[in-house]
Amino acid sequence: MARATYNFPAGFLWGSATAAHQVEGNNTNNDWWALEQEPGRIQDGDKSGKACDWWGGRWREDMDRAQDTWQNAHRFSVEWSRIQPEIDRWDESALDRYRAMLIGMRERNITPMITLHHFSSPIWLAEMGGWANEEIIPLFEAFTRRTVEALKAHCQLWVTINEPNVLMNGGYLEGVFPPAKKDFMTGLKALANMVRGHAAAYRAIHEIQPEAMVGVAHHWRGFKAANRGPLTAFVTKLHHKVFNDSFAYALKDGKFDALKLKLDIPEAIGTQDFAGLNYYSRDLVKFDLTRSADAFARRYYPEGADLSETGFLANDPEGFMEAIRWINQFDLPIYITENGCDDGKDDFRRRYLLQHLHAMWKMINHNIPIKGFFHWSLTDNFEWERGWSQKFGLWGLDPETQIRTRRKSVDMYADICRSNAITSEIVEKYAPEVYNKLYPV
């Protein structure tokens, strides 16, 4: 049997990622909380409730967990509606809490990365039309300034916006995220405003903290044509163009091109110091006349795919390599800002994670400058419109009792973080079923 150690570069960041609304609890002043109160919006009528009770102080015990298991980084988000509860009111005590969290991470040798906007917006802002209203641009800039001023002593890595394309898709196409619309044109406007908001925030952060490293967490989804037909090729290309490329390319050349909306946004050129990549899975795409609401396309996983517990994603590490090649076109240092899977049984996760980390290792060995990896997520948390039904944590979590349960994946990830490597022993111990895939003879 072939044996080898796959080493990662010295100083590699190994962490997990979370988002305010998903972990803090009692975030009553944002658009997600409002949506949760509407019957039928969230699976099984779930509510974020106390979430992982980080606002109540349990971030401390969770950061102890991260530290004890060799993680040296953590990506989390600040909640705009706490920092600016009303358009003309700021809450310094919220910033104090975030400062305490940052200091707590530093004390545990955990390098923080802060996301300024991760899906949730204050209610006052949502009432103004949220991202679809261009007045959000100066407001997002002001919020960014206030936050960075307050926290810059403890953090240098900033993500302005998490997954603009997923926010657009969920909020304006599928209608499952706030503002729960099905209005493509308004969605595209919102996406373009995110480009502008990001550019304004980028400049503001650098004014306040010249040494800051600022990026976006781009979600790249794989789309593979299911057949050779020209119509299938066309809709597949369309998916790439609108979903994967439109936001990201605007930061490269200042041209926002999403079919029905084309704009010049020159101020966006060069507004990334690093490129963040969130990758989960890849779809087959097939032209289908009956699916007009989905751009005449059906998306599905290939037959026989290795699916996660709820069928939400397929284990597709080749897709991760494609995603990494895509993000590398920006010629920037790269952070994998999210990757993980739903698996309460903790059986699928170990092979999914190992195969993805191995794919990442291969890309690093093709000289692609990946600097860190953030696993989604540390503990189970509130999975948006899917409520508590999906379990993405290294630790399980019962939101009622707040009891955390250590999964085997924790020990595997800890072994990798500690040795800064994947070893044959780790694969043999935690996911022998993929040994031959990682060590082909």
**Distance (Å, rounded) from C-alpha 162 to C-alpha 37?**
24
Binding mask 309-338 toward ligand BGC (x if CB under 6 A, else -) reads -----------------------------x
Nearer to ligand BGC, 63 or 166 (CB): 166
CB of 395 to ligand BGC, least distance (A): 15
User: Taking contact as CB under 6 A, which single stretch among the options 97-105, 141-149, 158-166, 227-235 is the one that binds ligand BGC?
Assistant: 158-166
Among 8, 16, 19, 200, binds ligand BGC (CB under 6 A): 19
Asked if residues 139 and 197 have their Cβ atoms less than 8 Å apart, the reply is no
| Binding window for ligand BGC (CB under 6 A); candidates: 79-87, 139-147, 162-170, 179-187 | 162-170
For the beta carbon of residue 137, count every other beta carbon within 10 angstroms.
Answer: 19
CB of 211 to ligand BGC, least distance (A): 27
Quick one: 281 or 328, whose CB is closer to ligand BGC? 281
Whether a cis peptide bond, with omega within 30° of 0, leads into 377 is: yes
Q: How far is the CB of 8 from ligand BGC (least distance, A)?
A: 23
Question: By C-beta, is 63 or 167 nearer to ligand BGC?
Answer: 167
Binding mask 272-311 for ligand BGC (x = CB under 6 A): ------x---------------------------------
For residue 120 the two structure tokens come to: 């949730």
For the CB of residue 376, give the shortest distance to ligand BGC in the complex, in Å.
5
Stretch 359-378 residues interacting with ligand BGC (CB under 6 A): 376
Chain length of the chain:
441
Q: How far is CA 214 from the centre of its chain?
A: 15
> In the bound complex, what is the minimum distance in angstroms from residue 281's beta carbon to ligand BGC?
10
> At closest approach, how far in Å is the CB of 251 from ligand BGC?
18
Are the CB atoms for 253 and 269 separated by under 8 Å? yes
- What are 98's two structure tokens? 């975030």
**Sole residue written with tokens 């204050």:** 122
Restricting to residues 378-397, name those near ligand BGC by CB under 6 A: 383, 392
Interacting residues of 284 by C-beta distance below 8 A, sequence separation 6+:
224, 225, 226, 299, 300, 301, 302
Shorter beta-carbon distance to ligand BGC: residue 198 or 286: 198
DSSP 8-class letter at 378: S
* Cα distances (Å, whole numbers) of residue 17 to 87, 162, 177, 187, 403: 29, 11, 20, 26, 20
Binding mask 107-126 for ligand BGC (x = CB under 6 A): --------------------
Residue closer to ligand BGC (CB basis): 24 or 383: 383
Q: How far is the CB of 240 from ligand BGC (least distance, A)?
A: 18
Cα 330 to Cα 317: distance, rounded to the nearest angstrom: 21
Closest by alpha carbon to 371, among 5, 113, 99? Answer: 113
Asked whether 239 and 181 are in contact (CB, 8 A), the reply is no
Sign of CA dihedral 5, 6, 9, 14: negative
Q: Count CB neighbours of 212 within 10 A.
A: 17
Q: Which is nearer to ligand BGC, 121 or 209 (CB)?
A: 121
* Residues contacting ligand BGC: total by CB under 6 A: 10
- The label of the residue with tokens 């041209």 reads 255
Report if residue 162 touches ligand BGC, rule: CB under 6 A.
Answer: yes
Nearest CB to ligand BGC, comparing residues 98 and 376: 376
Judged by CB under 6 A, the stretch of 161-169, 324-332, 411-419, 432-440 that binds ligand BGC is 161-169
CA distances from 125 to 37, 76, 133, 223, 304 (A): 18, 22, 9, 34, 45
Shortest CB 299 distance to ligand BGC, Å: 16
Spatial strand order of the sheet with 282-287 comes to 222-225, 282-287, 297-300
The residue ranges that bind ligand BGC (CB under 6 A) are 19, 162-163, 166, 219, 278, 338, 376, 383, 392
